[in-house]
Chains A and B, each alone.
Chain A
Amino acid sequence: MVSTGTQTEVVMPQMGVSVSEGTVTKWLKQVGEPIGRDEPLLEISTDKVDTEVPSPAEGVVAQILVAEGETVEVGTVLAVIAPAGSVVSEPADEPEPEAASEPEPAQPEPAPEPEPLAAAAQPAPVATEPPPPAANETPAGAPEAPAPSGNGKTFISPVVARIAAEHGVDPAAVPGTGTGGRVTKKDILSYLQSPAPAAAPPPATAEPAVAPAAPEPAVAPVAPEPEPEPVAAEPAPVAAAAPPVVPVPTRAAPSPPPVPAAPAPVSVPAAAEQPAVLVPGEMFEPMTAMRRGIAEHMRRSLDTSAHVTSAIEVDMSRVVALRRKLKPEFEANHGVNVTYLAFIARGVVETLKDYPWINGEIRGEQIVTRGYVNLGFAVELADGKGLIVPVLRNAETLNLLGIAKGVADIAQRARDKKLLPDEVQGGTFTITNPGGYGTFHGTPVISQPQAAILGTYAVVKRPWVVQDEMGQDVIAIRPMMNLTLTYDHRLVDGALAGRFLRDLRERLETWDEAVY
């Protein structure tokens, strides 16, 4: 019961542990009448017993809130006692029992559930585990579990998924010795440690049991940091490493036929097929696991998609100006460096809304489109170890600032090997930056099972024909950037690609700060 300084509430008591309600049977006093402390104020009836309720305070009955005959829950305020001498107004609406929360004392449980104390299970550090690949993604063609060789190959256990994510390895590229060809922890650990087996064995049979079976998702693109510096093609920070390929740590690969042995097109290139014989002047160098994976993926991707590339030139003046304006504010208030890539990514995400097939996928005989964009960014790893393509999920929900932060975050974590399994799979479109070293054109390889990949190139100051205020042609110096869209012509025709690039250019050249 509550005593608010002057007034005291009278509540329905709990007459017995299992009793949850009571009925007011008779009011012994009416509003306005005086009442003494402990004097019986009303009579109640419960499942167990009928009894009277003594007043908790001395004073005058100020309000009666529950009428005779009404049944209310234990703890409900029945009446209010005001100090003697108070002026009492007319009883208002009686039948309005306030559903007061039960006062503490009425609780039968003396102690609340010690939730904070109980050893609440802590979820394993790092979050989600990748669901068994096969279940979700069935990229081109293959039905979920590779029928031929049993399901085992497609099941990635939690520990294998975690190790794979940490090292940017596609588990599907690892030979599996577990049940049904499953990749075991031992398998992936030895895969990470071993030099290329293919090179080693002399025997001609060339059956490197090793051949990573592989699959697919390979993301091709290249390039170092997706951070084209303004103007002057300066090589992006991070250098090293070169070009090609990146093993795609995307999850599962669904399909890829298991394995080892013969079949499969694409076995490890060359090395396996040629006898390992050196001519004087030559040296052997083992292929790392990552290199082998990259080789595999590139080959497979080119074999799967009909790669065609279209290019467009974009006047980046507006973006340059905007970036100069926003950079200090973003750095100071949000701690993030906004790059050209952020602008392009934002523009891409907006434009993809109108071109679902470019964000789509061929799966079997069907075309898959989505309402979301999971944007992959090619990130070069330090020391030339290779490339990784972290994915920024649901990029369509982010504005410019959001994308800038998201990209910075996953790029950093990619370099620090702190990506979560979810962040290296499920991409729907990829952006890569082959132009980090000053090149102005390229034809990246599509990251399977996606339909296209955007290449960005150096921003270079060029003389450009523009219209002056009188509508006449003049030459201006403009920061120009080429963009290429490499697309799978099975799904995307040249006209569609062209329109996409046109719209993207339009956005970048007429960037509306208010909108983006």
Chain B
Amino acid sequence: MTYIQAISDALRLEMRRDPRVFLLGEDVGVYGGAFKVSLGFQEEFGPWRVIDTPLSETAIVGGATGAALMGLRPVAEMQFADFISCAWDHLVTVAAKQFFRGQTPIPIVVRLPSGGGFSGGPFHSQNPESSFAHIPGLKIVCPATPHDAKGLLAASIEDPNPVLFFEHKHLYRRIKGEVPEDRYTVPFGYANVHRPGDDATIVTWGAMVHTATEAAGELAKEGFEAEVLDLRTLIPWDEERVLEGVQRCSKVLVLHEDTRTGGFGAEIAATIAEEAFEHLDAPVMRVAAPDMPVPFSPPLEKAFIPQVEDVVTALRQLAAY
């Protein structure tokens, strides 16, 4: 099934098995969600489990927090990940800190259609994971495959902490994969080897996993085998597996679609430098979008989002170093 079908499937299974799970967001009910993730849900679960809210991100996410405190398991949808900034205050101020100061867990999931590549422009294409990764108390999940999307969404709903679930919308219908029918979960903090290799390790997540895989395929023709390590979750992230890759390959490329400065790749690179310095045979390389808003026009956007050629070039530099 496709990536988006896997997400719908996960949600549907959770809502069937646990009556506490409910959806709230803009246009999720009658319309089935802006991307149709919840198509048919209101018919099945009723209007009080698939709730069309006013245009109020703070009330949506804050409302989710309140409902979670009363024992429900809300899944809030932001229509575009970019709009999370409207609820940033609530997430950072209340949801992230509640357990720490009040010992009352906030088991909410906020689903965030993220990423660009289709001329969405500056406000419909961002990958805002890094600012939240910096706030203690929030978990960050970024599946790249249909299998992981389904399993990670179920795990996110199960998790007693606020989880930001970044679903890359450019993968929605473009990526297909084998997905088990039953319910299953994928644990947080475990990276997946999307493609094996010993000459370099590419640490990445989201849509870039596929870009990296294609680029690695190019280099393989030149005798250089790079492994593609899909982190799948950023908070927590699989530091152990990344360091193992560094030790084995001694050459690392960190790749993300988010902008470069302060992107989560910086955290990974710093950790590698601290923990695996003596295993490095080349500097830790980063490929990321340049520091600017996402441009709209296709040639501009193409120059902004890391392309396969960009990764190939970086890999060649690594190989030759």
Q: Which residues of A contact B (CB under 8 A)?
A: 121-126, 129, 157-162, 178-179, 182, 184-185
Does residue B282 face the partner (Cβ distance < 8 Å to A)? yes
Q: Which of B274, B279, B320 contacts A158 (CB 8 A)?
A: B279
| Total contacting residues, chain B, CB less than 8 A | 13
> Are the C-beta atoms of A159 and B275 separated by less than 8 Å?
no
Whether B281 contacts A124 by the Cβ 8 Å rule is no
A194 and B280 alpha carbons, distance in the complex (Å): 23
Contact A122 B281 (CB under 8 A): no
Q: Is the CB of B275 within 8 A of A157?
A: no
> Which residue on chain B has the smallest CB distance to residue A127?
B278
List 19 A-B pairs, Cβ < 8 Å. A122-B275, A123-B277, A124-B274, A124-B276, A125-B278, A129-B277, A129-B278, A157-B280, A158-B277, A158-B278, A158-B280, A159-B250, A161-B278, A162-B279, A178-B320, A179-B320, A179-B321, A182-B321, A184-B281
Interface core residue of A124, A126, A178 (most chain B CB under 10 Å): A124
Known: A121-B275, A124-B274, A185-B250. A159 touches B320 (CB 8 A): no
Using Cβ atoms and an 8 Å threshold, which residues of chain B touch A124? 274-279
- Expressed in whole angstroms, the Cα–Cα distance for A185 and B321 within the complex equals 11
Q: For B321, what are the chain A residues with a Cβ–Cβ distance below 8 Å?
A: 178-179, 182, 184
Knowing A159-B250, A178-B320, A185-B250, say if A126 contacts B281 (CB, 8 Å): no
Interface residues of B in 278-309 (CB under 8 A from A): 278-282
Q: Nearest chain A CB to B290's CB is how many angstroms away?
A: 25
User: CB-CB < 8 A to A123: which residues of B?
Assistant: 274, 277
A161 and B279 CA atoms in complex are apart in Å by 10
Q: Is the CB of A121 within 8 A of B281?
A: no
B274 touches A157 (CB 8 A): no
CA distance A179 to B320 in the complex (A): 6
- Minimal beta-carbon separation of B246 from chain A (angstroms): 9
Q: List the B residue with the shortest CB-CB distance to A162.
A: B278
Residue interface bits B228-260, CB-to-A below 8 A is 1, else 0: 000000000000000000000010000000000
Give A488 to B51 CA distance when docked, in angstroms.
90
B274 / chain A contacts, CB cutoff of 8 Å:
121-124
Residue of B nearest to A158 (CB): B278
The CA of A158 and the CA of B281, in the complex, are separated in Å by 6
Nearest-Cβ distance from residue B53 to partner chain A, whole angstroms: 37
Contact partners of B275 in chain A: CB under 8 A: 121-122, 124
The 4 closest A-B pairs by CB, nearest first: A121-B274, A185-B281, A124-B277, A158-B278
Q: Please determine whether A126 and B278 come into contact, CB atoms closer than 8 angstroms.
A: yes
Give the distance in Å from the alpha carbon of A185 to the alpha carbon of B250 in the complex: 8
**Other 17 A-B pairs with CB < 8 A, given A157-B281, A161-B278, A184-B321:** A121-B274, A121-B275, A122-B275, A123-B274, A124-B274, A124-B278, A125-B278, A126-B278, A129-B277, A157-B280, A158-B278, A158-B279, A158-B280, A159-B281, A162-B278, A179-B320, A185-B250
B237 to chain A, nearest CB (A): 12
Cross-chain contact A157 with B282 (CB below 8 angstroms): yes
B249 to A: closest C-beta gap in Å: 9
